[in-house]
Structure 1
Amino acid sequence: MDFRGILFFPVTPFTADGAIDHDLLAAHVATGVEAEAGGVFPACGTGEFHALSTAEAAAVTRTAVSAVGGRVPVIAGAGGPLGHAIEVARSAADAGADGLLVLPPYLVGGTQEGLISYVEQIAAASDLPVIIYHRGTAQYSVETVRRLAANPKVVGFKDGTGDIGTTQLIVRAVAESGREDFAFFNGLLTAELTQGAYRGIGVPLYSSAAFAMAPDIANAHYRAYASGDDDARLRLLDGFYRPLVALRDETPGFGVSLIKAGLRLSGLAVGSVRAPLVDPTPAQEARLAEILAAGRALL
């Protein structure tokens, strides 16, 4: 699976009565693809996978696949309770997705053998390749990733822990296995802040929630990052991403809530987040507007 460019995690728009707004979702996804996203990951973290039913996750994936139209890979989220994850995996395959991002299991943490079984059962539920997400209740050891990489259906690793040392060892273990088709992603919140370090250990790809609300700013960062223009990259880090992270860290769940707020500020009526997440206060939204304006002033 070949990814080129920023990995786009669209939000899931909701109407005033809480239903999914599929027309708005299609427009949101199409806009991201037109802004040169390297892949689309619907019904994942930024898309509030935690709050979607199996039927809703399937519907979100179908809409995204249609909007993408085969231009870039579509990787759907699948995780949580094992039965839910298997249902979502099958429905994502039926919807035409190109792969699955295996999110952590719900609530409980198992042994490494249990995590291997969890991934393998989700992988076996469809013909789709899977990418494992290393965070929360799914923290994979180096040896576990080595074993999973022996399965040709496991095609990627996304780090959400920030443990650079372990991730470096995982990158080297997969390289030693001979896999040349295995992708590595930086999946930390606001990954732009840490991507310089991840590139240094052989992890060139990153997900960008900011791309969902401000593709112009996110693309400027990506161009600076890809070309090695560290002066431009650091200007954007200091002028946009650092204040965005400071605001994000004020309230749990703002990694998603601020993205939806930014889209609303741009005129896209994506609605509120679902519980247990909360929307920013008016004062926080005003600060977000200032941060976005400051970021665009740097372009």
Structure 2
Amino acid sequence: MTATYTSDDVRARLRRGMETGVLSFPLTPFDADGALDIDAFRAYLRDQIAAGPGAVFPCCGTGEFFSLAEDEYERVVTAAVEEAAGALPVVVGAGYGWAQAARFAAIAERAGADALLLMPPYLVEAPQEGLVEHVRRVAASTSLPVIVYQRAQVKIAVSSIAGLAAIPNVIGLKDGHCDLDQLQRLKLAAPPEWLFFNGAATAEMQARAYRSIGVPAYSSAVHAFAPEIAKDFFRAFHADDHERVELLLSRFYVPLVELRDKGIGYGVSLVKAAAKLRGLPVGSVRAPLADPPPEHLEQLRALLDTGLDLVR
């Protein structure tokens, strides 16, 4: 199976999706022994797609890309493409050094993914010319469109935009730094057709600030476990229903961030724990992540009840 869309097609489909729904970053289910549970993934992803996101991004940070073997990655991407069935774009993660990222890119292309989200290289800090060359080498290995993800040790300089824009299949940037001054400079320097979206850990918290510089699209970790809440916030946000937005922020999102900040790795493990509390068969996180302790699970359960009550 191979993708049939050009970079322009994918960019246009993603742009339309970003206007109509959040970007879903699905979890990867594991069974009690820690093995990939592909049937559970399919069932879970069907529910995610039914909730109406603008696109799905399997095998990324929330999907524990960092813990997947290549054969597991291929099974997850293949299942995602089959379940999406062309109804919405499937953008998959690729990462580590450029040689390994190219191997994942080849798997994603064979499986029929629409695009790649190129995550930061493993461990190393690098100069700007090295970062551009990293993207260039990965992009040259595939015909898939590439979205560059800046977070952690990767921060793209304005001076690097021309080099990235010269790579034909680079179509945009996901931002995880929340430095709006820097992001605005990048956006002004980038080609006008590039896609930009907010990739903060709990992106709804910064959604209004990002929109103020022309970046209204965002990924939603909450969609991974409570699409009802994520959809309600998205509707209120786009309707400029400020009272509703502030109610959801103050009663649900702010407490969620405060709980998330109590544990290391909670950007993933707390999300997965919330899905388990809702009865979704996603299993536990893989090491080196760890499930939250009982006292945090009780706080999470109460917070979920509050959030769901708000949208019922």
- Report the TM range for the smaller structure's normalisation: over 0.9
Pair 1:224-2:236 in alignment: yes
Per the normalisation by structure 2, the TM-score is 0.92
- Show CA shifts across 1:70-92 (max 9, x none): 11000000011222211000000
Aligned to 1:10: 26
Runs of 5+ consecutive residues of structure 2 not aligned to the other structure: 1-10
Structure 1 residues 151 and 83, CA, compared in 2 at 3 Å: closer, same or farther?
Answer: closer
- Please tell me whether residue 142 in structure 1 is matched to residue 158 in structure 2: yes
C-alpha contact 2:58 2:90 (8 A) present in aligned 1: yes
| CA shift for structure 1 position 282 | 1.3
Given that 1:213 and 1:259 are in contact with CA atoms closer than 8 Å, whether structure 2 keeps it comes out as: yes
Tell me the amino acid that sits aligned with residue 283 of structure 1. Answer: E
Deviation per CA, 1:15-53: give whole Å up to 9, x if none: 111111111111111111110010000000000111112
Q: Deviations over 1:130-173 (max 9, x none)?
A: 00001123211112123212323110111111111000001111
Paired position in structure 2 for 1:19:
35
Match of 1:40 among 52, 56, 59: 56
Any conservation in 2 of the 1:131–1:156 contact (CA below 8 Å)? yes
Q: Which residue of 2 aligns with 1:30?
A: 46
Aligned partner of 1:214 in structure 2 is: 226
Q: Does 1:110 align with 2:129?
A: no
Q: Is residue 129 of structure 1 aligned with residue 141 of structure 2?
A: no
Inter-partner Cα distance in structure 2 for 1:111 and 1:292: 42
Matched residue, 1:120: 136
Q: 2:162, 2:302 → 1: CA distance? A: 45
Q: CA deviation at 1:233?
A: 0.7
SS where residue 205 of structure 1 aligns? coil
CA-CA distance at 1:183 after TM superposition: 0.7
Aligned mates of 1:160, 1:145 — CA distance in 2: 17
CA distance in 1, matches of 2:178, 2:58: 23
Matching residue within 276, 279, 298 for 1:264: 276
Q: Runs in 1 of length 4+ with deviation above 3 angstroms?
A: none
Does residue 1:160 correspond to 2:176, yes or no? yes
| Native 8 Å contact 1:186 1:198 kept in 2 | yes
Number of paired residues? 295
- For 1:76, what is the secondary structure of its paired residue? strand
CA deviation map 1:171-198 (0-9, x unaligned): 1111xx4x32x11010010100011100
Aligned to 1:84: 100
CA contact (8 A) 1:54 1:84 kept: no
- Unaligned stretches of 5+ residues in structure 1: none
Answer yes or no: is 1:275 the counterpart of 2:270.
no
* Corresponding residue for residue 294 of structure 1: 306
Q: What is the TM-score normalised by the length of structure 1?
A: 0.96
Tell me which residue corresponds to 2:200. Answer: 188
1:55 maps to 71
Counterpart for residue 66 of structure 1:
82
Distance in 2, Cα, partners of 1:254 & 1:140: 26
In the alignment, the residues of structure 1 paired with residue 234 and residue 168 of structure 2 have an alpha-carbon distance, to the nearest angstrom, of: 30
Query: CA–CA distance in 2 between the matches of 1:208 and 1:217?
Result: 10
Counterpart in 1 of 2:117?
101
Aligned to 1:245: 257
Name the SS of the counterpart of 1:72 in structure 2.
Answer: coil
Q: CA RMSD in A?
A: 1.0
* SS of residue in 2 equivalent to 1:194: helix
Whichever residue aligns with residue 262 of structure 1, its letter is A
